[in-house]
Structure 1
Amino acid sequence: MRPKRPILVVLALSALIAVLTAVVAQQALADDSVEGYFSWTRLNPQRNFIPSAHATPKDIYVNDVGAESATSRSFPFPEGSVLVKEVVDEASLSVAMLPSMRKVAGFDPDNNDWQYAMFVRQDDGSFAGEWVGTDHEMHAMCSSCHAGAAESDYAFLNYTGN
């Protein structure tokens, strides 16, 4: 009986697509605080499809500063923590946007000092976006949603499998 080679081919192609997606995502990020995010701690064991404000397949990464807090559920996150949600376009299988949050001491005490950004893929493959201030509409939208995760320092961690 022949081995199930088509299954192996599909698995290999899936892994290759995931790696290529991440490599392309690293090109020309608009902000160095999320540069290299793909080498950070990946919080979900596999790409997740849990419905959320960003209802597409996604992977979530945390930098070294926040990794211990995220994985051990020891809150609050320390200053300098950055979380990046890699949102994949289902049609093209490429990274479409990088909703991100970072902990900045004194930035917004009412929301545990989280600052938000949305880096969106441009036609040339680069990402454009910026960290927004507390007076920005996006900050109000993000912080109001993340208030639902106050028990985990405003970071949704239900997708991590821990």
Structure 2
Amino acid sequence: MKPSSFIKAGLFLTVSGLVAGCASAPDYSGDTDSRWADFKSWTKITEGRTGTGDPTGLVSGVHKGREGYRDVYVNDVGLATNQGTAPYKYPVGSVIVKEQFDDLAAFKAQKPTDLTIMVKLRDSATPDAKNWGWAAGYDGKLEETNAFCSGCHSVAAKDDFVFTNEDFLKKFH
């Protein structure tokens, strides 16, 4: 490896560490979209399951990566579908919220650093990522088109773009 490659790699790791070190717990007290404002009162579908790892091979650096931990909540609209069996077809109004934790210590202390949200906006005859909206953060703005989110979630198209359903949880957790 060239010396300049080592310098670039070192700079990347340093910047990554600084960004990770600046993360702070989400503030769930402010104004937010009413569709997920009370998500902490919903069913935590990962309750009693260790929410870590990368069983799909897709997590890589997102959702706190392979070493991160995650809790996933679903509202009452999507609960029966989520806890059912395939084929999964979520009704319009389903909301899924994922809290992400940096590591086991943060998970045990229930101190998340990130939050991501999926909202089923419309229905169609076949699964379509355009049926979902995506938001990053408790006070994030819902985006009806998010190529970054829908790109990874397209792998779960047969399950209506949702990874964390009952079949997934039984298989991987």
Unaligned runs of 5+ in 1: 1-21, 120-126
Identify if the C-alpha distance between structure 1 residues 91 and 160 changes in structure 2 by more than 3 Å, giving closer, same or farther.
closer
Query: 2:170 aligns to what SS in structure 1?
Result: coil
Give yes or no for the alignment of 1:70 onto 2:82: yes
In structure 2, the partner of 1:18 is none
Identify if the C-alpha distance between structure 1 residues 92 and 48 changes in structure 2 by more than 3 Å, giving closer, same or farther.
closer
CA distance in 1, matches of 2:83, 2:144: 28
State the AA in 1 paired with 2:148.
M
CA distance in 2, matches of 1:106, 1:153: 10
In structure 2, the partner of 1:58 is 70
Q: Report how far residue 99 of structure 1 moved.
A: 0.7
In structure 2, the partner of 1:49 is 52
Identify if the C-alpha distance between structure 1 residues 73 and 112 changes in structure 2 by more than 3 Å, giving closer, same or farther.
farther
1:111-140 Cα offsets, whole Å, 9 max, x none, are 260110000xxxxxxx43110132xxxx00
CA distance in 2, matches of 1:25, 1:46: 25
1:1-162 alignment, distance < 5 Å: 26-28=28-30, 30-44=32-46, 45-51=48-54, 52=59, 53-54=62-63, 55=65, 56-74=68-86, 75-90=88-103, 93=106, 94-105=111-122, 110-111=128-129, 113-119=131-137, 127-134=138-145, 139-157=146-164, 160-161=169-170
What RMSD, in angstroms, separates the aligned Cα atoms of the two structures?
2.7
Query: 1:95 aligns to what SS in structure 2?
Result: coil
In structure 1, the partner of 2:22 is none
Identity %: 30
Unaligned runs of 5+ in 2: 1-24
| TM-score normalized with structure 2 length | 0.64
Identify if the C-alpha distance between structure 1 residues 25 and 68 changes in structure 2 by more than 3 Å, giving closer, same or farther.
farther
Q: Report how far residue 161 of structure 1 moved.
A: 3.3
Query: 2:49 aligns to what SS in structure 1?
Result: coil
**How many pairs align?**
128
